[in-house]
Structure 1
């Protein structure tokens, strides 16, 4: 069998009644192509270079080397070309989620670097990953300002709600780019940061006490529930009370929204599922030699998201009630 990685000897079992139809190597097939796409797909699924090489050894009985087809060489160049393709554009996004994940880069010594991610939800309910940006040092509002400005210059003229974490200075950076945007603290991030200050044995009880706060019908009701929470947990964990007090001004806009908008922002937070796939790909590799290698890995993981399209279909189906709520809440801005 002639393949793109050289001749491969295969042992075809006898099929006396011709009832078996091979899937990998078809009957009477003498040339196997598409190795590049197979390698890209395996890399996008999170397999490392060694694991891909072992897979070819197990399936085809041949070894694919980095100089031939593995992602560190020719596939890397193709990945870079695809990364240069322009991201989708839209005049207005009802919701944009922004967040940063940290990867280990070996630049002389291994250091943590932030990779900035932005996801926009279009008026049609489609989720666009607006880009991946590698930063220096820790996550900062100044770099976010440059990222958001780039997104605006690419055609995103208006955003109704920007969901972010509680990074200092980030609300000012967002409103500098989009003056009318409502800055909303990510409820999932806020709850997760709450648990960082408490031992695991109190998480379940604390979660039950927090739920009446972020599900309250009004800000006044949420304030009452928060006072009860602070009275119970404040003496033992004062840092948790301070965390919620500092984030309160960016948290309360969430309480003014229709339940459908709340569901989009909180319970179906788009960026959390994407970040989970990114972290899985990062953990499989440990650290990266360069920023470009890290971006390439995350880009390939992005291409592997929702291959069947079922997740996109479910999201679009749930999006219509939220779109009606957005059209009423932000009248004249959704078109």
Structure 2
């Protein structure tokens, strides 16, 4: 039996009380009659639009009353220095459609409404709706069509673009925020996006870095679209992280990126660059036929599960000499090419190996992000891609948080909501891994404990 959520029950109770009071007072009788007569709730002639118009105009009139100092119809109005001076028509876009308002004016021209400020053509809720739709993967023209077809609001492509661009400053602030001095582990992985570059659309890699702090909590450190190849690009990324406060990194887990190990070692000389073992296994299995995949996977296990680097080399040589190894020399080559960046993994104890074994911490995030970007033809520039990816991460985490909030108070076996995707997620068995890190890197860990 499902246990009720206390917060949801309280919200329902309050909403029911309000609805009951309105119904018993007769305030809704005329509205109910119009609904029964077939009048629409939304759209240009919708009842909700009329109600919102009445509420906004009443609020604006109350603001003007406070500004001029007298109520409408006051016989002593002429004694006041300022006075009412009719209204100005104004159309504002809302979540339920366009609403035509009569905005009151004053004689002196000093009235500045707060409810619907001068120059504002949309209520804040509509901006939030547009940004949410954009974060969900809809293009600007998709959003334009969606608003017009669902709530009857017609906004230009340029207006919607400006609304979305408003989050640009937030993205810049997030991408340049200060970071911790030490991240024991940083994972790096990429998602391929299509971006217009000059007169052509190119595939570019949007790299996402996730750092694990001293408490074992994961944080998305930044998103970078690769503008140039190799060491030059990675040197700029590492320099940016260092400038934001990262003084040391113990282990960086990534998939063999050209120039990356050199950039890391130039910025953090003592850092260990570790090839993602899962990526390495996938590369080794790339040309293996379907019928041999299980056998090859089993034969590779002694290599990456070896107790030491010497034992791993012995296992690799044994695989190379076997029938499967002779049949698939590309699998052997994958390990030999990555050997220098693979073997650091083997020097760590089991609990720490499980933490740095794979970049799956990011891959699950990338899977969700690909669902958001797959409907887009391409992005106009690198900044647009970073902005959407950042918004998508926020949107995914917010949705999961709302789902968890709905299940708050339920027993563990009754909860079905997903946990955090990446941001704020706690690394499994972190205490044990941190203990082993403190034994491997005592001088670098202890000052931060």
TM class by shorter chain equals 0.7 to 0.9
Q: CA deviation at 1:47?
A: 2.9
Helix, strand or coil for the counterpart of 2:357?
helix
Q: Structure 1, residues 48-78: CA drift from partner, whole Å, max 9, x if none?
A: 3344345435643445542333xxx123321
Q: CA deviation at 1:273?
A: 1.9
> Normalising by the residue count of structure 1, what TM-score does the alignment of the two structures yield?
0.82
Query: Residues 182-221 of structure 1 correspond to what in structure 2 (within 5 A)?
Result: 182-221=272-311
Q: CA deviation at 1:263?
A: 1.7
Residue equivalent to 1:78: 166
Query: Residues 3-152 of structure 1 correspond to what in structure 2 (within 5 A)?
Result: 8-10=44-46, 33-57=124-148, 59-69=150-160, 73-85=161-173, 86-106=176-196, 107-136=198-227, 139-152=229-242
Q: CA deviation at 1:255?
A: 1.4
- Of the three residues 389, 395, 400, the one matched with 1:298 is 389
Helix, strand or coil for the counterpart of 1:68?
helix
Q: In 2, distance between residues paired with 1:47 and 1:324?
A: 45
Query: Residues 245-324 of structure 1 correspond to what in structure 2 (within 5 A)?
Result: 245-266=336-357, 269-307=360-398, 308-309=400-401, 310-311=419-420, 315-316=426-427, 318-324=429-435
Q: CA deviation at 1:197?
A: 2.8
From the superposition, tell whether residues 225 and 316 of structure 1 become closer, same or farther in structure 2 (CA, over 3 Å): closer
Residue equivalent to 1:158: 248
- Asked if 1:175 corresponds to 2:286, the answer is no
From the superposition, tell whether residues 169 and 32 of structure 1 become closer, same or farther in structure 2 (CA, over 3 Å): closer
Q: In 1, distance between residues paired with 2:202 and 2:264?
A: 28
- Asked if 1:329 corresponds to 2:440, the answer is yes
Structure 2, unmatched stretches of 5+, are 1-41, 49-94, 102-121, 402-418
Q: Which moved more, 1:259-268 or 1:241-250?
A: 259-268
Checking the alignment, whether the CA contact within 8 Å between 2:218 and 2:427 is kept in structure 1 is: no
Helix, strand or coil for the counterpart of 1:315?
coil
Q: Structure 1, residues 176-216: CA drift from partner, whole Å, max 9, x if none?
A: 11111011111122122223333444333322222332222
From the superposition, tell whether residues 241 and 303 of structure 1 become closer, same or farther in structure 2 (CA, over 3 Å): same
Residue equivalent to 1:241: 332
From the superposition, tell whether residues 313 and 278 of structure 1 become closer, same or farther in structure 2 (CA, over 3 Å): closer
Say what the alpha-carbon RMSD is for the aligned residues. 2.8
From the superposition, tell whether residues 159 and 50 of structure 1 become closer, same or farther in structure 2 (CA, over 3 Å): same
Q: In 2, distance between residues paired with 1:58 and 1:192?
A: 46
Q: Which moved more, 1:214-223 or 1:88-97?
A: 214-223
Checking the alignment, whether the CA contact within 8 Å between 1:163 and 1:265 is kept in structure 2 is: yes
Checking the alignment, whether the CA contact within 8 Å between 1:119 and 1:130 is kept in structure 2 is: yes
Checking the alignment, whether the CA contact within 8 Å between 1:87 and 1:129 is kept in structure 2 is: no
Helix, strand or coil for the counterpart of 1:306?
helix
Q: Structure 1, residues 111-157: CA drift from partner, whole Å, max 9, x if none?
A: 222323222111112222222222335x4122111211111121100
Q: In 2, distance between residues paired with 1:153 and 1:314?
A: 25
Q: In 1, distance between residues paired with 2:347 and 2:338?
A: 16
Checking the alignment, whether the CA contact within 8 Å between 2:131 and 2:164 is kept in structure 1 is: no
Helix, strand or coil for the counterpart of 1:117?
strand
From the superposition, tell whether residues 179 and 10 of structure 1 become closer, same or farther in structure 2 (CA, over 3 Å): same
